[in-house]
């Protein structure tokens, strides 16, 4: 079945395992990579390896970082008593971009989804609970407003409530005028400011 070369087939196969990449796109990418100078392909390959080898989870908040502690956790100016719980490092990055949140984060790397068979043990929840034995005033749950995000928020709030720590949930944002970037930031800040106690 190797129309061209076993090497190309292997590359197409690997690329097609990436999220959002179907067989056709994988083939297009493979031919593109091969058409490039060898150094370019080497740079691509080595940046994949470098990222995979050097990026790890922050010991504290579980976000992706190349140090033991991420820049937010190691920043003495951040309020360690306020923890915002997000689903992904991308969600964290969105809030960081607003520049208005002074607390720290906890990245779950997913959300509870009974439909997909993702339970509480499949996300970084134990790590969050371990952090709560320290000095924490508030946990802001900023999971998505999807079914999974809401399920996760409810689950976490039930876990935390007995500890007496304040648990809040961000409001679902309403977009206001401006360009996309601003809409996102304003929406995020409104959602944060409009958080309610659970
Ligand atoms: Zn961290």
Q: How far is the CA of 73 from the centre of ligand 1 (A)?
A: 4
For residue 113, report the distance from its CA to the centre of ligand 1, in Å: 25
Which tens digit of pLDDT belongs to each residue from 2-50? 567 889 999 999 999 998 999 999 999 999 999 999 999 999 999 999 9
Q: What is the 49 CA–ligand 1 centroid distance (Å)?
A: 23
The ranges assigned to domains in the chain are 77-192
Instruction: For residues 80 and 136, give the distance between their C-alpha atoms in angstroms, rounded to a whole number.
Output: 7
pLDDT-derived band at 180 (thresholds 50, 70, 90) equals very low
CA 162 to chain centroid: 27
pLDDT bin (cut points 50, 70, 90) of residue 144 is confident
- pLDDT tens string 42-56: 999 999 999 999 999
Quote the pLDDT of residue 178.
44
State in Å: Cα 63 to ligand 1 middle: 6
User: How many Å apart are CA 176 and CA 155, to the nearest integer?
Assistant: 31
Per-residue model confidence (pLDDT) at position 194: 78
**Distance of CA 105 from the midpoint of ligand 1 (Å):** 7
- Quick one: pLDDT band at residue 176, thresholds 50, 70, 90? very low
Tokens describing residue 125: 């929840």
Q: What radius of gyration do the chain's Cα atoms show?
A: 21
pLDDT band per the 50, 70, 90 thresholds, residue 60: very high
The Å distance, Cα 94 to ligand 1 centre, comes to 15
Examine the pLDDT at 64 and tell me if it is beyond 80: yes
pLDDT at 177: 47
**11 CA → ligand 1 middle, Å:** 35
- Amino acid 197: pLDDT: 86
| Domain 77-192 CATH assignment equals 3.40.1360.10 | yes
Give me the chain's average pLDDT, please: 89
Distances (CA, A) of 104 to 9, 45, 71, 181: 45, 33, 10, 23
Shortest CA distance to 128 belongs to which of 116, 115, 142?
Answer: 142
Average of pLDDT values for 153-177? 83
Neighbouring residues of 193: CB distance < 8 A, sequence distance ≥ 6: 171
Angstrom distance (rounded) from CA 169 to CA 198? 7
| Residue with the two structure tokens 């579980």 | 62
State yes or no: pLDDT of 179 exceeds 80.
no
């Amino acid at each position: 079945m190797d129309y061209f070369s076993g090497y190309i087939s292997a590359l197409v196969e690997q690329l097609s395992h990436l999220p959002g990449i179907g067989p056709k796109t994988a083939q297009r990418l493979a031919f593109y990579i091969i058409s490039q100078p060898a150094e370019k392909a080497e740079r691509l390959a080595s940046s994949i390896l470098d990222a995979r080898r050097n990026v790890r989870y922050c010991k504290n908040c579980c976000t992706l970082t190349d140090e033991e502690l991420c820049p937010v956790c190691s920043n003495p100016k951040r309020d360690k008593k306020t923890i915002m719980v997000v689903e992904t490092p991308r969600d964290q990055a969105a809030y960081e971009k607003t520049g208005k949140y002074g607390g720290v984060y906890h990245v779950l790397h997913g959300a509870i989804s009974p439909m997909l068979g993702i339970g509480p043990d499949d996300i970084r929840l134990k790590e969050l609970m371990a952090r709560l034995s320290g000095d924490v005033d508030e946990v802001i749950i900023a999971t998505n407003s999807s079914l999974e995000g809401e399920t996760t928020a409810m689950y976490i709030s039930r876990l935390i409530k007995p500890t007496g720590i304040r648990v809040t949930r961000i409001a679902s944002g309403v977009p206001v005028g401006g360009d996309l970037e601003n809409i996102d930031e304003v929406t995020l800040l409104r959602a944060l400011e409009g958080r309610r106690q659970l």
